């Protein structure tokens, strides 16, 4: 491809008090050596000296330092909108506790460039513990208590997910989308306040525009996961519940909503019986409040304007 313009990629890395992990993440992108990359680091009001530390080590990176913690969705959007403003052909989203294989960007772009209908792409993700255990190979929407499920989670890699596959969504800690898709969707919907489903919603809206969501097995990421996601905390369970209900209300059919309601109800009873004796009664209560809040929180307007029509007509 000598002399041929490479598609440009804005790599958006979200960080909050994880300077060493963020350094490792950024270094893995640099080591990949893709020639048309711009590093965009979003620092979500860290107090561990992340901004100064990472600016010194990656002077070519664009560092966006937020004076407040914008949360997962707002923080990512700060970086995405900067990448959109700079006109990148593709935008790659990474959390600070992810690291990429040297061929990740090349593999994702090769697949995307082969089919303009592909709008969002995701890698094979391993747990970052040298076990070669799969953390995620894209996800499916099941309309059960948690609405979605990541494919392959916890399975040893025996080659069972080595086929390029259309899927329902890609988790936000590591996904790539065309810059045009980000522009048409106006990035992530901040109605979803972290801890789930802002990425699912993004992919579903991309599908409404006629794009494919594709898992690329030759693209590889390692992700710690627990470094950025809390345990069975009240805040996490509250936001997970709110977002789950919002997603079901927005996209689910009558039958799918009923299915979710049954699973969510039994799930809450199960949590009371199992988690409350473990000292997590506060989190169970927060989950119940989240389900209630999700039922009455206003939904954003549908994204079905002229851009959707134009995208469909172009395919």
Q: Per-residue DSSP letters for 116-157?
A: TTEEEEEEEEEESSSS-BEEES-EEE--STTSEEETTTT-B-
- Identify the burial level of 36 via C-beta atoms within 10 angstroms of its C-beta, where 0-12 means exposed, 13-18 middle and 19 or more buried: middle
Return d(Cα 121, Cα 272) in angstroms, integer.
38
Regions in the chain scoring below 70 on pLDDT: 1-3, 226-231, 300-315
- Maximum pairwise Cα distance, the chain: 65
Q: What pLDDT sits at residue 231?
A: 63
| Placement of tokens 């919603």 in the chain | 201
Contact assessment for residue 217 and residue 171, using Cβ atoms and an 8 Å cutoff: no
Torsion of CA 227, 244, 215, 81, to 10 degrees: -70
pLDDT at residue 276, rounded to an integer: 82
Candidates 86, 49, 62; CA nearest to 13 is 62
User: What local confidence, expressed as pLDDT, does residue 5 receive?
Assistant: 85
Q: What are the angstrom distances between the C-alpha of 124 and each of 55, 177, 266, 294?
A: 30, 16, 32, 32
pLDDT at 302: 60
Q: What is the pLDDT of residue 312?
A: 36
């Amino acid at each position: 491809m000598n002399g041929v313009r490479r598609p440009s990629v804005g790599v958006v890395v979200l960080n909050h008090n994880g300077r060493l992990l963020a350094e490792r993440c950024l270094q893995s992108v640099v080591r990949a050596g893709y020639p048309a990359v711009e590093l965009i680091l979003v620092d979500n009001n860290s107090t561990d000296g992340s901004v100064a530390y990472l600016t010194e080590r990656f002077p070519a990176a664009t560092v966006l330092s937020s004076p407040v913690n914008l949360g997962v969705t707002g923080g990512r959007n700060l970086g995405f909108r900067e990448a959109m403003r700079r006109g990148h052909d593709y935008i790659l989203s990474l959390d600070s506790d992810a690291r990429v294989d040297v061929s990740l960007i090349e593999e994702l772009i090769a697949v995307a460039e082969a089919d303009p209908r592909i709008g969002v792409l995701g890698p094979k993700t391993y747990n970052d513990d040298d076990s070669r255990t799969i953390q995620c190979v894209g996800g499916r929407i099941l309309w059960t208590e948690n609405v979605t499920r990541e494919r392959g989670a916890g399975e040893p890699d025996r080659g069972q997910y080595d086929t390029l596959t259309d899927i329902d969504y890609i988790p936000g800690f590591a996904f790539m989308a065309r810059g045009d898709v980000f522009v048409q969707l106006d990035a992530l919907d901040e109605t979803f306040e972290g801890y789930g489903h802002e990425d699912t919603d993004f992919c579903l809206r991309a599908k409404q525009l006629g794009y494919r969501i594709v898992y690329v097995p030759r693209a590889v990421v390692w992700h710690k996961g627990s470094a950025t996601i809390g345990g069975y905390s009240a805040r996490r369970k509250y936001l997970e519940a709110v977002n789950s209900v919002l997603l079901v209300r927005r996209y689910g059919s009558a039958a799918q909503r009923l299915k979710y309601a049954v699973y969510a109800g039994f799930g809450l009873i199960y949590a009371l019986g199992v988690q409350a004796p473990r000292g997590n009664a506060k989190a169970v209560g927060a989950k119940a409040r989240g389900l209630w809040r999700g039922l009455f929180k206003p939904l954003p307007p549908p994204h079905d304007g002229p851009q959707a029509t134009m995208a469909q007509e172009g395919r």
